[in-house]
Amino acid sequence: MTGNIRLFIALELSMKQKEEIALLQEKLKLFNSAVRWVQMKNLHLTLKFLGEIDEALIDEIKSIMNDLVKGIEPFDFSFKDLGFFPSYSSARVIWLGIHKGLENLRELGIALDKELAKIGIAREKRAFQPHLTLGRPRKSLNNEILLNMETLAKGFVTEQSRASGISLFRSELTRKGAVYYLVHESECKMY
C-alpha cells in the first residue's frame, strides 16, 4: 500500500551561493523580525512543486527527470534583485530574481511541467517565473520596510552555480519549518 508524499523538483545551489544569500538574509533581518527566513541548508531553486503525490508515481517521475536532462547541457545561473510576491503592497514572499541563466531555467521549468502532466500531475496555472524564496512575512510589512530591504539589496549579485542536474525532494512540514530529503538526482549527460 502506498500513500501520498509532498514532493518538489529543484536545482541545488553551490555552498558559496548559499553563504552569500545567508549573509544578505542576516542584513535583511535587521529591518523586521516578523519574517520566517529560509534556512541556509534549505535554499534551492524550485523548478516544479508537485504537491501531495502518490508514492506509486515516484518511479515515473524519476524516469521523466532522467529523460529530460539527457539532452541538456549544464549551464550557469546566479541571482540578483530583491522582489516581493504577489505584489509590493501585499508581500507574502520575499525573493531573489535570476541574474544569469533565466532562459535555461524557464525552458527547464516549462518542459518539466509539460512532461509531468502526462502522468497526471497538474500543470501550473501561471507562467513559470524562476526565483529563489528568501523568506515569508508572518504579517504584513509596511512599504518603508520593503523599500529599505530593496535598497539594501540593490546591486546584490551572487556567484554563479553550475546547473548540472535536477533533484527530487520530499518535503516534510514540521513545527520548526520544512525539512527536505533528497529522493533522486538526475544528472545532465552532455558534458
Sheet bearing 44-54, strands edge to edge = 44-54, 4-12, 165-174, 177-187
Provide the number of structural domains found in the chain.
1
Report pLDDT for 170.
95
Strands 177-187 and 35-37: unpaired
Three-state DSSP class for 40? helix
Per-residue pLDDT of 81-109, as tens digits, reads 899 988 877 889 999 999 999 999 999 99
For the cut 80, the answer to whether the pLDDT of residue 161 exceeds it is: yes
For the cut 70, the answer to whether the pLDDT of residue 77 exceeds it is: yes
Q: How confident is the model at residue 1 (pLDDT cuts 50, 70, 90)?
A: very low
Cα–Cα distances (Å) from 70 to 78, 186, 189, in that order, read 23, 9, 5
For the domain that residue 152 is a member of, what is the CATH number? 3.90.1140.10
For the cut 50, the answer to whether the pLDDT of residue 191 exceeds it is: no
**What percent of the chain stands above pLDDT 70?**
96
Q: Which residues pair with 174 in a beta bridge?
A: 177
Exposed, middle or buried: residue 22 (CB in 10 Å: 0-12, 13-18, 19+)?
Answer: middle
Q: Over the chain, what is the mean pLDDT? A: 90
Any idea which residues carry the catalytic annotation? 44, 131
Threshold 0.85, pTM exceeds: yes
What residues make up the domain containing 178? 4-187
